[in-house]
Amino acid sequence: MQYVAASLVSENKTLAHPASLDSIPSSANQEDHVSMGTISARHAYLIITNTRRVLAIEAICALQAVEVRGENHLATSRHHLYFSRRMY
C-alpha cells in the first residue's frame, strides 16, 4: 500500500503544475493566452480523487495498526470511530 500511496502523491505533485505555463497561441497567433480553466478543473478533480485514495490507504493502515497493537491502547474517544470503521 505504501507504493500505491507514494505513486498517487507523486501524481498529485505533477498535476499541481500550473496549467497556465502550457498556454499555446491560438487564432493564427492573434491570441497568445488561452484559458486553461478546463484542464485546471480536470487536474483539480484528479488531485481530489487521488487524495481521497491516499487518505483511505492511511485509514486502512491505522486500523491494522490498532489490531496489531490491541484495542485497549485506544483512547476512549477513538473506540467508536474504530468499531464503526472496522465493520467494513
pTM of the entire predicted model: 0.75
- Write down the domain spans for the chain: 2-86
Q: What is the mean pLDDT of residues 19-46?
A: 79
pLDDT > 60? residue 49: yes
Q: Give the cell for residue 27.
A: 487564432
Residue 47 CB burial class (10 angstroms; 0-12, 13-18, ≥19): middle
Q: How many residues does the chain have?
A: 88
Residue 78: CB partners within 8 Å, gap ≥ 6? none
Separation CA 24–CA 63 (nearest Å): 48
Confidence of residue 29 (pLDDT cuts 50, 70, 90): low
- Are 85 and 65 contacting, i.e. CB atoms less than 8 angstroms apart? no
